[in-house]
Amino acid sequence: QKNLSVLSIEQVELAKMLLEMGQTHLFQHWSEPDDDDEKRAFFDQTAKLNSSYPGGLSAYINTARELLADSKTGKNPYDGFSPSVPSGEVLTYGDDTFVQFEEAGIKEARKAAFVLVAGGLGERLGYNGIKVALPRETTTGTCFLQHYIESILALQEASCSLAGGDCQAEIPLAIMTSDDTHLRTLELLEKNSFFGMKPTQVKLLKQEKVACLDDNEAHLALDPLNKYKIQTKPHGHGDVHSLLYSSGLLKVWHDAGLRWVLFFQDTNGLLFKAIPAALGVSATKQYHVNSLAVPRKAKEAIGGITKLTHKDGRTMVINVEYNQLDPLLRASGYPDGDVNSETGYSPFPGNINQLIFEIGPYLEELTKTGGAIKEFVNPKYKDATKTAFKSSTRLECMMQDYPKTLPPSARVGFTVMDAWLAYAPVKNNPEDAAKVPKGNPYHSATSGEMAIYRSHSLILRKAGVKVDDPVIQVFNGQEVEVWSRVVWKPKWALTFSEVKSKVSGNCSISQRSTMAIKGSNIALEDLSLDGALIVEAVDGAEVKVGGSVQNKGWSIENVDYKDTSIPEEIRIRGFRFNKVEQLERTYTEPGKYSLTP
Sign of CA dihedral 110, 318, 403, 283: positive
Distance CA 174, CA 108 (A): 18
Distance CA 395, CA 376 (A): 6
Pick 105 or 234: Cβ nearer ligand UGB: 234
Pick 30 or 376: Cβ nearer ligand UGB: 376
In sequence order, what are the beta bridge partners of 517?
Answer: 488, 535
290 binds ligand UGB (CB under 6 A): no
DSSP state of 220: B
Shortest distance, CB of residue 124 to ligand UGB, whole angstroms? 7
Asked whether 132 and 118 are in contact (CB, 8 A), the reply is: yes
Pick 307 or 585: Cβ nearer ligand UGB: 307
Residue from 89, 102, 137, 266 that binds ligand UGB (CB under 6 A)? 266
117 binds ligand UGB (CB under 6 A): yes
Shortest distance, CB of residue 233 to ligand UGB, whole angstroms? 9
Number of residues that this document lists for the chain:
597
The identity of residue 169, as a single letter, is A
* 415-434 footprint of ligand UGB as x/- string (CB under 6 A): ----------x-x-------
Residue from 83, 86, 88, 120 that binds ligand UGB (CB under 6 A)? 120
119 binds ligand UGB (CB under 6 A): yes
Pick 294 or 517: Cβ nearer ligand UGB: 294
Pick 105 or 304: Cβ nearer ligand UGB: 304
Residues 6+ apart with CB under 8 A from 522: 492, 502, 535, 537, 543, 545
- How many residues bind ligand UGB (CB under 6 A)? The answer is 23
Residue from 398, 486, 527, 559 that binds ligand UGB (CB under 6 A)? 398
Positions in 161-180 near ligand UGB (CB under 6 A):
176, 178
DSSP state of 444: B
Enclosing H/E stretch for 330: helix 322-330
448 binds ligand UGB (CB under 6 A): no
Pick 303 or 553: Cβ nearer ligand UGB: 303
What is the chain's alpha carbon radius of gyration, rounded to the nearest angstrom? 26
Distance CA 23, CA 219 (A): 6
* 315-344 footprint of ligand UGB as x/- string (CB under 6 A): ----x-x-----------------------
Q: At CB < 8 A and 24+ separation, what contacts does 378-384 make?
A: 378/71, 379/68, 379/71, 379/213
306 binds ligand UGB (CB under 6 A): no
Pick 117 or 535: Cβ nearer ligand UGB: 117
Pairing of strands 478-482, 508-509: unpaired
Distance CA 422, CA 237 (A): 20
- Angle between helices 56-73 and 9-20 in degrees, nearest 10: 20
Q: Which stretch binds ligand UGB (CB under 6 A): 20-28, 78-86, 116-124, 152-160?
A: 116-124
Quick one: which of 3, 394, 369, 45 has its CA closest to 229? 45
Residue from 46, 71, 142, 351 that binds ligand UGB (CB under 6 A)? 351
147 binds ligand UGB (CB under 6 A): no
Positions in 39-78 near ligand UGB (CB under 6 A):
none
| Cβ atoms within 10 Å, residue 435 | 11
Residues 6+ apart with CB under 8 A from 408: 314, 315, 316
352 binds ligand UGB (CB under 6 A): yes
Query: Angle CA(496)–CA(499)–CA(501) in degrees, nearest 5?
Result: 110
Shortest distance, CB of residue 180 to ligand UGB, whole angstroms? 9
- Angle between helices 271-285 and 96-108 in degrees, nearest 10: 90
Shortest distance, CB of residue 397 to ligand UGB, whole angstroms? 9
Pick 293 or 527: Cβ nearer ligand UGB: 293
236 binds ligand UGB (CB under 6 A): yes
Positions in 485-504 near ligand UGB (CB under 6 A):
none
Residue from 234, 371, 413, 448 that binds ligand UGB (CB under 6 A)? 234
Residues 6+ apart with CB under 8 A from 385: none
Asked whether 459 and 167 are in contact (CB, 8 A), the reply is: no
Shortest distance, CB of residue 425 to ligand UGB, whole angstroms? 5
237 binds ligand UGB (CB under 6 A): yes
CA distances from 233 to 206, 228, 427, 491 (A): 14, 16, 20, 39
Residue from 67, 68, 118, 412 that binds ligand UGB (CB under 6 A)? 118
Q: Which residues bind ligand UGB (CB under 6 A)?
A: 117-120, 176, 178, 207, 234-237, 265-266, 302-303, 319, 321, 351-353, 398, 425, 427
